[in-house]
Amino acid sequence: MLATSLKLVTKYNYLSEKFEKAYNWLSNHDPVNMEDGRYDITDGVFAIVQRYQSIKFEDAKFESHKDYIDIQYIAKGYESFGQAYVEDCTLTESYPNDDLYFYKMPNVYTQVTLRPGDLVVVPPEEAHQPRVLYKNSEEVVKVVIKVSVK
């Protein structure tokens, strides 16, 4: 998992033109003032703007995707974000048509705090636990950019 700010991530070009277009889209849009929903960026790359209340750690599931790398960007609010390797997780639910896989709470995981302007990049080999409250439940505005691995 790559966890950094939008300002730093463009410095390291992770990994290709698809990512550059995703970062440029984030730099040139204000998700806080956008409607929730899907926004196409380029072939194989799209953004999903979403708003939600952060939830308790024990209520948040670990998930992964096989077809997309996630770039999860916090536009408003604070969120704790978990990461674990899929190989260390036990699958509990599988929705291949939606590219969504859920896991039991792993024994080993990492938790980072994301604030406005921060993002994480999560490849298919990693499970992640989004939406976890930082100190108190609050409204979070997040953009999840999906970058196709194909």
pLDDT at position 8 over 70: no
R_g over Cα of the chain: 14
Question: What string of DSSP letters covers 49-77?
Answer: EEEEE-B-GGGPPEEE-SSEEEEEEEEES
What does the chain come to in residues?
150
Q: Phi-psi region for residue 77, left (φ > 0), alpha (ψ -120 to 50) or beta?
A: left
Q: For the range 36-39, what are the long-range contacts, defined as Cβ-Cβ under 8 Å and sequence gap of 24 or more?
A: none
Distance between first and last Cα of the chain:
19
**What's residue 113's pLDDT?**
95
**What's residue 78's pLDDT?**
97
**What's residue 150's pLDDT?**
81
pLDDT tens digits for range 108-124: 999 999 999 999 998 88
pTM, to two decimals: 0.90
pLDDT tens digits for range 83-105: 999 999 999 999 999 999 999 99
